[in-house]
A and B are shown apart, each in its own frame.
Chain A
Amino acid sequence: MTPGFSFERFKQVSYRSLVINKKRYALGIGGTLIGLYAFWLLMGVFSSQQTLRENSTAILAFGTVIYQIGGYVLTASIFSELQSPGSASQFLTLPATTSEKLFSGWVISYVLYTIVAFLGLSLLLLVMTLTANLFFSAEVQSISELTKIYLNNVVLVYLVFNSVFLLGATYFKGNNFLKTAFSILLFFAVAGFLVIFITFLVGPDNITFIIRPPMFLQNSEYAQLLFQIIYTLPLTALFLVFSYYRLKNRQVA
C-alpha cells in the first residue's frame, strides 16, 4: 500500500465521486445548456438578424457567468458526504490519503468542470450557429471570441474563487455554498470599509490600492495574462493548503 500520493487511488476516488454525483452533474450542466439555448431561440423569434448575433454574444457571456456560479455550487458540494454523519463515515474512512481526496475534488470541480463547461458552451455555439443559418439566415458569435472570454478572465477568476469554495466545502457542515458566498461578501465588505477608513485618514491623493502590472507589461496581452497568473496561483495554492489541513482534521461531530 503506497503511503504517499498514489495516482491509482486518486483515479479510484475521482471515479467514485463522479459515479455518485453523475446524475446531479449531468442535470445541472445539461439543464443549463438547454435552458440557454431555449432562451436564445425564444429571443431569436422576435429579433432581427443583427440582434440575433448580439443575443448570441449575450447568451455566451451569460453562460460564462453561469459557468462560474454553477461551478461554485458544485465545488461547495464536492464533499457533500461530509455534511451528514451517516455518509461522513464512508468518506472519511475511504482508504485514500487526504491529498488524494482533495486533489480529486479540485480536479473534478476545476479542471474537468471547466473542460466540460467549455465543450458545452462550444456545442451551444455550434447549435446556435446551425439554427441561425438554417432558420434565421443569420450569423452568430465565433468560437475564437468564446476562447478569448474564457482564457483571459473567467478561468483565472474561477481558479481563485474555486479554491475558496473548496475550503468552504471542507469547513462548513451545511449550506456550504451560501455560507462561503456570505463569507466572501463579508470579507470584501470589511476590506471596503478598511479602504474607506484608511483613505479618510490618509487623504485620497496620497494612496492607491490598485494593483497594476509594470508599465512594460501593459502593452502585451500575454504579459498581462502572465501577470494575472502570477498573483492568482499563489492565492489559489494558499486556499488549497488551508483546505488540505481542514479536510485532514475533519471529524464527524
Chain B
Amino acid sequence: MISIKNLSFAFKSNKPLFSDLSLDMETGKIYGLFGLNGAGKTTLLNHISGMLFPADGECRVNGTLSRERTPAMLSDFFLIPEQFTLPTMSGTRYAEIHAPFYLRFDFSQFESVIDEFQVDPASALPELSYGQQKKFLIAFALATNTRVLLMDEPTNGLDIPSKSQFRRIVASLDYTDRCIVISTHQVRDLGSMIDQISVIKNGEIVFNHGLDDIRRMLTFKKIPSEDDQPYIYGEEILGGIHAVCKAETDDDRLSKEIDLELLFNAIISRTDLIQQEFNTISV
C-alpha cells in the first residue's frame, strides 16, 4: 500500500534528514508514526503524499510513485496536514465542490461525523476556531473513504472531549482495506487506536512493530524500589520504577496493557536495547 525504499532527503543547506530510509505499510492497519519534534514525521508524510520529492530512493502509494501525483493515486488518498488554511466558504459548500474528486465519498458519513463533532457545516470555515476547522477536515477526510489516509498531529488543537470523540470515531471505522497513518508526538492521545508503531529517530525508522509483537516481547510494570529486577528502561515514580522489561514468562505476556508513552521513551532512550530484543522477530 505504502512503500518507501531507500529514501534520502535533505532540506537545502541542512544536514540530511533521511538517509536510506525504508518502510512498508500495509492495508488493514492503523499505524502510529511517532518521533520527537523535528524528527521528520511531517516531512515523511509530505514524501508519501508527493508534496516533497526524494533526493534518492522512491516512495510509492498503491504502486504509483507518489511524486507523479496521478489523479488515480490522489483520489484514493487523503492527507490531513497539521497546519492548514481552509478557503472562505461554508463547510457544506466545501464538501460539495471537493467530494466529486473522491469516488467513494459518503455524504451521510460526513454528516454523521460532523454531527458527532458538533461542527456547524453552514458556518464559514475561516470563522471557525482551529479545533473546529480540524474536526471539519477530519470529518471530510473520513467521508472520502480513501484507502490511504494520513493524519499529521490530528489531535493537536482538539479539546479533551473531542479527542475522545476522535478516538471513538476512528476505532469504529472499517479499515480492512485501508491503511491509516497517524503521525503524532502526543503518544498518549492515540494509544487505544493503533495496531502498529513506527518510530523515527535521527532520520531512520528505529522501530516498526505491531502491538502483538510488543506484547510478546515486552512487559510494562511497576518495580518496587527495594526490588533489583532488571529492566530495559525505567522512570522513577512514587515507591518504585515504572519499567519496560523483557517479557520472560507467560504471565508477563498475558499482561495486555501497553504503556505507549513509556515504550516510546524507551525506544528513544534505549534504541539499541529495544532493537536487540526485537531482532529475533525480524530474523
Contact = CB atoms under 8 A, between A and B. Distances in A.
Interface of A: 1-3, 6, 9, 12, 15-16, 19-20, 23, 84-90, 92-98, 248-249, 251-253
Contact of B69 (A6, A16, A93): A93
* 8 shortest interchain CB distances as A-B pairs: A95-B75, A86-B85, A95-B74, A1-B72, A252-B51, A87-B85, A95-B101, A20-B87
Nearest to B101: A95
A98 B68 CA distance: 10
Determine the interface band of chain B, counting residues with CB < 8 A from chain A: 20 to 34
A90 B101 contact: no
A98 B69 contact: yes
Nearest to B43: A253
B51 A88 contact: yes
Nearest to B98: A16
A97 B68 CA distance: 9
Main secondary structure on B side of the interface with A: loop
Given A1-B71, A3-B72, A93 B79 contact: yes
A97 B52 contact: no
A19 B98 CA distance: 11
Contact of B11 (A1, A87, A253): A253
B229 to A, nearest CB: 47
6 contacts: A93-B69, A93-B77, A94-B98, A95-B74, A96-B74, A252-B51
Interface in B53-80: 53, 69-72, 74-75, 77-79
Given A16-B98, A85-B83, A92 B71 contact: no
Nearest to B52: A251
A93 B74 contact: yes
Given A2-B71, A251-B51, A253-B46, 14 more contacts: A1-B103, A12-B97, A12-B101, A15-B97, A16-B97, A19-B89, A88-B51, A93-B74, A96-B71, A248-B69, A249-B53, A251-B53, A252-B51, A253-B11
A86 B53 CA distance: 18
Nearest to A85: B83
Given A20-B87, A86-B81, A253-B11, A93 B72 contact: no
Contacts of A248: 69
Contacts of A98: 69
A112 to B, nearest CB: 17
